Structure 1
Amino acid sequence: MYTCILGVLSCTSPAFSQVPTFDELKAGYVQNLRACGALRVTYTVRTRITKDSVESLRAEQAILQEAVSNGIDGDVLQAARDRLDEIAAALPQGKATDVVVQDAYDLWTDHQGLQLRTPSPYHDFDGQFPDAPIVAPSDLVDSYPEIAVMSWPGDGQTATVWPGLKPDSPIKHGVVSQHTPADLTTARFPPLGYTRETWGHITQWHPIDQFFFADYPQNTVVSTVLQAGEDREAWLVRRIPPGSPRGPFLEAVIDPKRGFIPVSIRRFVLQRDDSEFDLDTCLSDTLEEIAPGAWYPLRTTVSKYSQDFRNRSKEAGGTVPALLSHHESWVVTHIDPDADMALVNYHVGLPDMTLYYDELTGKHRLVGGTAEDVDAVMDQILARRSAQAEEAITPLDQAGNARNTTSLQWLLFANVLGVLLVLLLYRIARR
């Protein structure tokens, strides 16, 4: 295998015999990932939300509250109120501090379906994923009681989610979903060469997939060069959103010799003075040839920026300094091209007597059970929760959901902060 540490972008532009279209570059990226064969990717995502961003978020809240009280109307007023609701949901209680979240994942895919494993919210994680096969539903109980497992066969088919066994609970739970699988709503996917936006927020997908699959109809491609020991040809791509002259725009430097993988991506908007404000950047600084001619990013670093409203002038829409609000480090700890997919069954289903919520019918069901069995289990759950409430114990399922919800709120906050406020305050200023 060969590892390439990529260098700094040069401003010189060598001559190319033909300039590819964006669609051709995208096809090259997808074909590169297909050339990796069936993949097993084990990786971590470490996210740090900065103390400064929390303080700035509180200052932003005060600015919007003042704007609302001073009288704005129409769609701007509604946008401000919606943003205030988001801030209220995302702000932590107490003193502002750095918040660090580290998540671990083990993904198997043949590029048709996938299986994603992540530590169950009901258990502590020892850092190692089991290697045991998941072929029959009983394997989930026997080998994965402390691991959440999502299995998705492919387009048009439902995903099933096994959230792991709850300690001290005789009831097994699960989910059958057409949308974002429950208990995995904050899952972060590695580069796949496709996205499934119906599963949830775009922040679930790797920034490289976000770049290629965002619905931006207007694209420009120009030649540039990378410096990595020796100059290498590359392509500078800018993607322009429809009907939004101030952005957010996407810009990437793509290395055609390394699987058409973007070595850098930035997302930015135009401020009131037409200066560019970076919302986030993504650097893929370690690419590896994991199969002949097939490359994969082993490490990507994402930095997200927001406006520092602590130091903002009184004038609405004025230029605001930037601060680092959110830092992510994606690290692949193990990758196995041509993985043995006989160890994975996308149609594994759920174990017998597992209670699950069926989104298609809006009802709870019990695998291998009758409607009367479902009623009996639901009565058992209600009785258990009543007993826990009397003893002032937080129910286990509520504790797990709170953990996931908090993490997701932070991710949503980091993603929408720059886009909405740069454009919203610009619109307020114009009033």
Structure 2
Amino acid sequence: MSAATELKLTQNSYYAASANELPTYSKLESNIEADVCVVGGGFAGLSAAIELIDRGYSVVVLEAKHIGWGASGRNGGQIIAGLACEQEVIEKAIGFDAAKKVWDMSIEALDLVRERVKRFDIKCDLTDGFLGVSVNAKKGAYLRQWYEGMTKHYQYDNDAQWIEPKDIRHWIDSPRYFNGYFDKRSGHLHPLNYCLGLAKGASRIGARIYQRSPVIAMQHGKSIDSETVYLQTETGSVKAKYVVLAGNMYLPEVAPKLAPTLAKRIMPVGTYIIATEPISPSLAAKLIPSNAAVCDTNFVLDYFRFSASSTLAEPRMIYGGRVSYSALTPPNLTANMQARMVETFPQLKNTKVEYTWGGFVDITMNRAPDFGRIAPNIFYLQGFSGHGVALTGLAGKLVAEAIAGQAERLDLLAQIKHHDFPGGKLLRTPALVLGMLWYQLRDKLG
């Protein structure tokens, strides 16, 4: 992906236009020391910083651009139980009992978001409720089977309820959907404001945060200082006992020599979002009465929700989808995204689109998260696969636990095996594009 492509995707974001006060963290221009250096100023890195400071560690956060610049500030804002892959993938990888622990951790991640919003008084429009919906009877039957399995083995019905075809229009006034379920514990928020709030909270309790400070080199010390890690930026350095690499898909681009083996296990996938002009609260309440976030069950899926409304602002439809596996922005993006929205909600046919933006998420081959170590004191968090708004927060907590000597939970997830994308550097993107064309065709054929 080119820098010009990425810059263009950041320039017309509703989140940026409606952001709270932006932070003024400086660039690192000196040589400093800390117990832990966190590379990446998004959800995962800031969560790790907060958890580590709570455990008594001194922490430095190095962000290559600015806080929330990557996926943490440009995503769909949906906080959802579970992982990007199905539980069956986790069960096959590490067994049912361990998979049950992973599921419970994903529920813990939802609670963690709410705890941090409350603790740091983050104004991010946190809203409860999520709808998972199918687009036809065949997919609806599969969704029902999945729901019954989750109810039987994971007691998911404690947090969710099934929606029959005859009732689906009461939950979402769209001709597209056949059946679904409502999860009261999941929800949505303004992701950039949440990220900015995490940074402000982390800074308040002692984290030293530096923006515009990409890491250009990392090395272990020698001889008696072999357990120390040195991280070099353009104008400064950090000497640390531990390192947390939380740059996700941007890490190989910003600092390709830090962890070259990790880059082979993730692929950048573009995803795109539009936001409409404000619409009347009464229409919004008719389209999605619960004001839940919504996501369909297609492999190449659509996801959407309404922004918060108040006496000062009416809600906007925030509609995402139209992924790109080639790292190239699709042509006529705004018009195509608007057409997808109108297919879902014909009632919005004459509603103008005021914002179009996008970004890249890092996916793994199996869409399970990829957490672990590349050295005893160097940890990494990547591969959230588009399902990271809540899970990134938990990831930061797990790595902090591990650094503090309680690594069981991080090691549990590290047991999930990950493979390199096939095709090598030159061929893996074309191979993935061909594969995704197949999945898109399968979605259309039902």
State the TM bucket, normalised to the shorter chain. under 0.3
Larger Rg: 1
TM-score normalised per structure 2? 0.23
Structure richer in strand, relative to its length: 1
